[in-house]
Amino acid sequence: MTGPWGPVTGIGSLPGTDPAEAVRLVLGELPGMAHLPELPGRGAGADMIGRTAALLVDLAVDITPAGWRLVSRSGVEQRRAQEFLARDLDALHDEADGYVGPLKVQAAGPFTLAASLERTRGERAVVDAGARRDLAQSLVEGLRTHVAAVAARVPGAQVVVQLDEPSMPAVLQGGLPTSTGFGRLSAVPVETVEQELRAVVAAVPVPVVVHCCAPRMPLGLFRAAGAAGLSFDLGLVQDLDAVGEAVDAGSHLLVGVVPGTDTALPAATATASRVRAWWSELGFSAEMLPDAVTLTPSCGLAGATPAYARAAMTHLREAAKYLQPE
């Protein structure tokens, strides 16, 4: 269970538009495992796909009325995404001076990225093995550069990369709609997905977390692909055997335990009790829990109010204290 983990972290996105304010919030509320905030409220280019588009090397994308698309030359939205990322890195440099510890950055995983980009002519890139390969290679090169940029700005950071794969269940089950919306794209075989995801995970020079907060997330596949950490919504996990196998294999669990949008939060002790009961159901000793589990929101907080986002982080931090051995 050793590795660059903390008791609490965020998924990635936050409400608001000020990157410096967002970094200060994360550093103040999640000091044990900070993350580089994403602020999709700024508009196109600051969303998950836009942020990842800013990382791509030698591939161009732009926004069309139908969404993001691979194009021959970089468009204004990709340049805007790159400007957002540059501002975020500047804010991190200014606000995180002296930070020491795990620092997580996020990007769309290769299959969600390919499922979200249309080819210049045709369907989503995820149905084209060549397009998937080109995207994966470009993403890996971009992540390497991004990790180096973060490490240069925060020398005390132990950088962790989170790959967001919310589209993965639909990719595996043939649930993605065609461009016309009248059909469904063919499923990508499990063996192909595992092989291609493993190649990306292996090529990233720091530990990789794979995050999926969609129902039927394939935790076993993510573990088999080499992910050091698995991030998921506790309320959506049904395959306890897959979770247990992941723990036995040394995978770290980033467990979503509070909603990503405004709701009445329970007492921190109640959240801790829920996590302890789940851990006990898995069959592991209570002493293992603090080192094996990091608490998170169930998904990003971009849709929450700023007050709730702060309260959720505080709640998680307090709940994590109750998971420590007495």
C-alpha 119: how far from chain center: 24
Pairing label, strands 229-233, 208-211: parallel
Inter-CA distances, 45 with 50, 69, 77, 107, Å: 4, 13, 6, 13
- What are 212's two structure tokens? 């999926």
The answer to whether 36 touches 105, Cβ cutoff 8 Å, is: yes
pLDDT, position 1: 43
Q: How far is Cα 250 from Cα 223, in angstroms, rounded to an integer?
A: 10
Q: In 3D, which of 127, 116, 144 has the Cα closest to residue 53? A: 116
Q: The pTM is what?
A: 0.97
pLDDT, position 103: 98
pLDDT, position 326: 67
The answer to whether 255 touches 236, Cβ cutoff 8 Å, is: no
Q: In 3D, which of 32, 29, 38, 31 has the Cα closest to residue 11? A: 38
Cross-strand partners of 8: 295
Q: How far is Cα 251 from Cα 156, in angstroms, rounded to an integer?
A: 24
Digit-by-digit pLDDT tens for the chain (326 residues) are: 457 999 999 999 999 999 999 999 999 999 999 999 999 999 999 999 999 999 999 999 999 887 899 999 988 999 999 999 999 999 999 999 999 999 999 999 999 999 999 998 778 999 999 999 999 999 999 999 999 999 999 999 999 999 999 999 999 999 999 877 789 999 999 999 999 999 999 999 999 999 999 999 999 999 999 999 999 999 999 889 999 999 999 999 999 999 999 999 999 999 999 999 999 999 999 999 999 999 999 999 999 999 999 999 999 999 999 998 76
- H-only helix segments in 154-295: 168-173, 190-203, 219-224, 240-248, 268-282, 289-292
Q: Phi then psi for 154, rounded to 5 degrees?
A: -130, 80
Instruction: Give the three-class secondary structure for 102.
Output: strand
- The angle at the Cα of 324, spanning 31 to 287, to the nearest 5 degrees, equals 130
Where exactly are the structural domains of the chain?
A: 19-240
Q: How far is Cα 178 from Cα 18, in angstroms, rounded to an integer?
A: 36
